[in-house]
Amino acid sequence: MQPITLALAKGRPAKSTIELLEKTGEHFIDLHEDSRKLVFYNKDKSIKVIFVKALDVPTYVEKGAADIGIVGKDNIMESQADVYELLDLKIGKCKFSVAGKPDHPIKNNQKLTIATKYPNVAKKHFLKKGQPIETVKLNGSVELAPIIGLSDYIVDIVETGSTLKENGLVVLEDIEKISTRLIVNKASFATKAAEVQQFINQLKLAME
Amino acid sequence: MQRYVMDNNKNTNVQDFQIRDDLISTLKNRFTTYGYKQVRTSTFESYDMYSNLIGTVNKDEMIKVIDTSGKVLVLRPDVTIPLNRMTTLNGLNTDNQRLFYVLDVFRQSPEQMDQKESTQAGVECFGDHSAETDSEIIMMAIHTLKDIGFRNFKLEIGHAGFFKELIQQTKLTEQELDALQSLIQSKNLAEMGPFLTQLDIEEDVRTAIQSIPMMYGNPEHVIEQAKSIIRNDSMEAILQNLIEINELLKAYGAENSVLFNLGLINNMNYYSGVIFQGFVDSIGKPVVMGGRYDNLGEQFDHSIPAIGFAFEVDLLIHAMQQQGLTNTQPLTADIIIRYPKEKQTDALRSAYFLRDHGYQVLTYSVEKTEEVNVEGKNIADFSVSHNTLYKQNMKETFSKPEELLSLLKKEEK
């Protein structure tokens, strides 16, 4: 058997993913969400876990630096990586939405400015609607943009909506539902078929 | 001063070129053993020809140039299409034309601004559409991957017609079809189910489409699965074609290198028959892609059956470097000749004589060069009294070029 590399997203989604991994019966030494370590192995070293920034998980998997990745649909959509998306792990559920000030319904036929951490997702959504937009790429506190007039609207992930509410914004339009997915490198799926398939089956069992 | 760091073509030093050149000769040798002859196509192609061909190269990806008459040209964005046009227009004896090429292709995309050129090494076989030709082409790709030395590689085989047949039984809009294709290409079953339910499709067809992405793996196994979704004679014929190809590949002893993947959809829309792509360890993109395209010629008034594939040379080099499959020879000359002014004539004659016999020779005049920085396997020192050849721990004297040659030869044993 060849060893496989599994890329996980650092930060918020790590906890539920680690819980799921533990349920598969594979024990990873020292693996917990607060650890500063970035590389972990299971007992027989057949699985290597690496922790990377969430948006980089699809890139690691697409380029073959990792065979399998566990990451939110939001990051898969934004990175536009060419990978297999084999399982919906049904955790980390939230949605992509367009949000803005409550008295500000989305106008058509006028170029809009959208602030977002996900410019590709925003462009694709408005392209589908035939709406010209300009995106402003931000790396955090996106909710601030419409308040101080940096943009007309924002495109962001919405979990409970409380951050929006506290900043006086409302959801105007939903784009797509999001949850954590299992992605696989297309070459690994062919060249390490047995190992990859075994891991997926373990994970499927753990989800039940 | 402006700094120009546009070293886009990554492999530009001497060693890198050697690796590339060795790889290309490996590829050429293998293609030749299957009876293929090398050709080239023009670097400039007509923009109109490409823009009129549906489902081939994305117009935005082509690099355009305008000639003095105002005609728009593109830098060769692919090789298959010009070769096909050449063959159909020339009306050559198209029975079993076997051609191969090693050429640069030019494309641009916003994601990869610094990678506008790449080298493709490919083959095209015109004039025959039997399962024997299909499997021979696939075997040639496998054979080549073995030659390069990849230990773990797999060829995924699918069929362009299988999915097209199923789609013909539905009335999907172009957008729906695009969305469905990308769901199948990413084997995204989780989203495919809900997506298909909201479309107006017959129940049987829906189940068939839903099962396509997972028709993957062991050929016999996939063939069994596929039998359950056969809906008409043409699908039956396609399956029969795949069964034959599988049997032939087994005859070649290639069963461990192939997988079937009926969810394989190539973005080049002209494929009409068997399609395949090859993967090696740790490289996410296929290093080789190909398939049968019998109808492409129709767009040039005259269609001939054709099948081919192309290796991405740059990707192969990347994979070889990653897996330690490149061995470079040290950059040393066979012999270095050092001489003083008085012996110039003798030394240069010896150099000419040795070069004539195929030795790599570097000459230095002792007065002008204080120190020689190049390493040589042998050193011949000319001096007024006598000439000496140094090799490893040996030291021999000689006077004539013929003697030097025989000394060099003797030591090689």
List, edge to edge, every strand of the sheet that includes B44-46: B44-46, B72-75, B64-66
pLDDT at residue B283 greater than cutoff 90: no
Chain B residues with CB under 8 Å of a chain A CB are 152-154, 156, 185-191, 216-217, 259, 279-286
Q: Which two three-digit tokens encode residue A176?
A: 């797509």
Per DSSP, the residues of chain A read: ---EEEEEE-STTHHHHHHHHHHTTPPBTT--TT----EEEBTTSSEEEEEE-GGGHHHHHHHTSSSEEEEEHHHHHHHT---EEEEE---S-EEEEEEE-TT-PPPSSS-EEEEES-HHHHHHHHHHHT--EEEEE-SS-TTHHHHTTS-SEEEEEESSSHHHHHTT-EEEEEEEEE-EEEEE-HHHHHHTHHHHHHHHHHHHHHH-
Q: Which of A186, A196, A198, A204 should we substitute to test contact with B (largest number of B Cβ atoms within 10 Å)?
A: A186
CATH class of A94-177: alpha beta
pLDDT at residue A17 greater than cutoff 70: yes
Q: Would you say residue B39 lies in a domain?
A: yes
Spell out which residues of chain B touch residue A82, defining contact as CB-CB under 8 Å.
185-186, 284-285
Q: Would you say residue B41 lies in a domain?
A: yes
For residues A187 and B281, is the Cβ–Cβ distance under 8 A?
yes
Which residue of B lies nearest to A181 if distances are taken between CA atoms?
B190
Which positions 3-62 of A are in contact with B (Cβ < 8 Å)? 61-62
Which residues in chain A are classed under CATH 3.40.190.10? Answer: 4-92+179-207, 94-177
How much is the pLDDT for B5? 61
Q: Which two three-digit tokens encode residue B351?
A: 């150099």
Residues B190, A65: C-beta atoms closer than 8 Å = no
Using left for φ > 0, alpha for ψ between -120 and 50, and beta otherwise, residue B324 falls in left
**For the domain that residue B391 is a member of, what is the CATH number?**
3.40.50.800
**Percent with pLDDT over 90 in chain A:** 43
Q: Would you say residue B2 lies in a domain?
A: no
Q: Are residues B339 and B302 in the same domain?
A: no
pLDDT at residue B9 greater than cutoff 80: no
| Residue B349: band (very low, low, confident or very high) from pLDDT cuts 50, 70, 90 | very high
Out of B294, B322, B350, a domain closes at B322
Q: Are residues B317 and B223 in the same domain?
A: yes
Q: Are residues B316 and B364 in the same domain?
A: no
On the CB side of A113, CA atoms within 13 Å amount to 11
Q: Are residues B312 and B343 in the same domain?
A: no
For residues B129 and B86, is the Cβ–Cβ distance under 8 A?
no
Q: Which residues face B279 on adjacent strands?
A: B154
Q: Are residues B39 and B154 in the same domain?
A: yes
Residue A61 Cα, gap to closest chain B Cα (Å): 8
**Rounded mean pLDDT, B340-362:** 90
pLDDT at residue B120 greater than cutoff 90: yes
> Among A98-102, B21-25, B280-284, B366-370, whose mean pLDDT is lowest?
B366-370
How much is the pLDDT for A90? 87
Task: Name which of B365, B314, B225, B269 is nearest B27 in CA terms.
Answer: B314
A84 near B CB under 8 A: yes
Out of B257, B287, B322, a domain closes at B322
Q: Would you say residue B3 lies in a domain?
A: no
Q: Are residues B77 and B190 in the same domain?
A: yes
How much is the pLDDT for A208? 78
At which residue do the structure tokens 């499709």 appear? B201
Q: Give me the residue from A83, A86, A187 closest to B282, CB to CB.
A: A187
pLDDT at residue A125 greater than cutoff 80: yes
Task: Name which of B21, B284, B33 is nearest B143 in CA terms.
Answer: B33
How much is the pLDDT for B136? 95
Q: Are residues B208 and B344 in the same domain?
A: no
**For the domain that residue B245 is a member of, what is the CATH number?**
3.30.930.10
Task: Name which of B171, B59, B178 is nearest A124 in CA terms.
Answer: B178
Q: Give me the residue from B152, B186, B216 closest to A191, CB to CB.
A: B152
Q: Give me the residue from A65, A85, A191 closest to B186, CB to CB.
A: A85
Whether ipTM tops 0.95, in short, is no
CA distance B252 to B146: 14
CA distance A136 to A118: 9
Q: Are residues B355 and B237 in the same domain?
A: no
Q: Give me the residue from A2, A88, A187 closest to B284, CB to CB.
A: A187
pTM over 0.95: no
Residues B280, A191: C-beta atoms closer than 8 Å = yes
How much is the pLDDT for B200? 84
Q: Which two three-digit tokens encode residue A186?
A: 């297309």
For residues A186 and A82, is the Cβ–Cβ distance under 8 A?
yes
Q: Are residues B393 and B312 in the same domain?
A: no
Q: Would you say residue B8 lies in a domain?
A: no
| Residue A60: band (very low, low, confident or very high) from pLDDT cuts 50, 70, 90 | very high
At which residue do the structure tokens 């919906």 appear? A88
How much is the pLDDT for B11? 57
State the virtual CA torsion across B25, B28, B33, B39 in degrees, nearest 10. Answer: -150
CB pairs below 8 Å between A and B: how many? 58
Q: Give me the residue from A64, A82, A86 closest to B282, CB to CB.
A: A64
**Rounded mean pLDDT, B316-331:** 82
pLDDT at residue B335 greater than cutoff 90: no
Residue B189 Cα, gap to closest chain A Cα (Å): 7
CA distance A185 to A60: 9
| Residue B369: band (very low, low, confident or very high) from pLDDT cuts 50, 70, 90 | low
Spell out which residues of chain A touch residue B318, defining contact as CB-CB under 8 Å.
none
Integer angstrom CA distances of residue A25 from A202, A203, B14: 8, 9, 51
Q: Is it true that domain A4-92+179-207 has CATH number 3.40.190.10? A: yes
Q: Are residues B102 and B235 in the same domain?
A: yes
Full domain range(s) for residue B389: 335-412
Which residue of B lies nearest to A66 if distances are taken between CA atoms?
B282
Q: Are residues B42 and B155 in the same domain?
A: yes
Residue A28 Cα, gap to closest chain B Cα (Å): 23
Out of B295, B322, B349, a domain closes at B322
CA distance A85 to A76: 9
The pLDDT tens digits of the residues spanning A180-195 come to 999 999 999 999 888 8
How much is the pLDDT for B242? 94
Write A19-22 long-range contacts (CB < 8 A, 24+). Answer: A20/A89, A20/A91, A20/A203, A20/A206, A20/A207, A21/A49, A21/A206
Residue A12 Cα, gap to closest chain B Cα (Å): 23
Residue B278 Cα, gap to closest chain A Cα (Å): 8
pLDDT at residue A71 greater than cutoff 90: yes
How much is the pLDDT for B12? 67
**Rounded mean pLDDT, B75-101:** 82
- Three-state DSSP class for residue B261: strand
How much is the pLDDT for B91? 64
Spell out which residues of chain B touch residue A62, defining contact as CB-CB under 8 Å.
284
pLDDT at residue B159 greater than cutoff 80: yes
**Rounded mean pLDDT, B33-47:** 93
Residues 6+ positions from B400 with CB-CB distance below 8 Å = none
At which residue do the structure tokens 């054709």 appear? B306
Integer angstrom CA distances of residue A32 from A15, A19, A36, A39, A46: 8, 9, 9, 11, 19
> Among A38-42, A150-154, B61-65, B301-305, whose mean pLDDT is lowest?
B301-305
Q: Would you say residue B9 lies in a domain?
A: no
**Percent with pLDDT over 90 in chain B:** 41
**Rounded mean pLDDT, B335-353:** 90
Q: Give me the residue from A64, A65, A84 closest to B186, CB to CB.
A: A84
Which residue of B lies nearest to A62 if distances are taken between CA atoms?
B284
pLDDT at residue A38 greater than cutoff 90: no
Q: Are residues B27 and B158 in the same domain?
A: yes
Average pLDDT, chain B: 87
Task: Name which of A188, A15, A48 is nearest B259 in CA terms.
Answer: A188
Which positions 157-186 of A are in contact with B (Cβ < 8 Å)? 181, 185-186
> Among A77-91, B63-77, B275-289, B368-382, whose mean pLDDT is lowest?
B368-382
For residues B313 and B120, is the Cβ–Cβ distance under 8 A?
yes
How much is the pLDDT for A39? 85
**Rounded mean pLDDT, B245-259:** 94
Q: Would you say residue B1 lies in a domain?
A: no
**Rounded mean pLDDT, A106-130:** 87
Domain count across chain B: 2
**Rounded mean pLDDT, A27-41:** 78
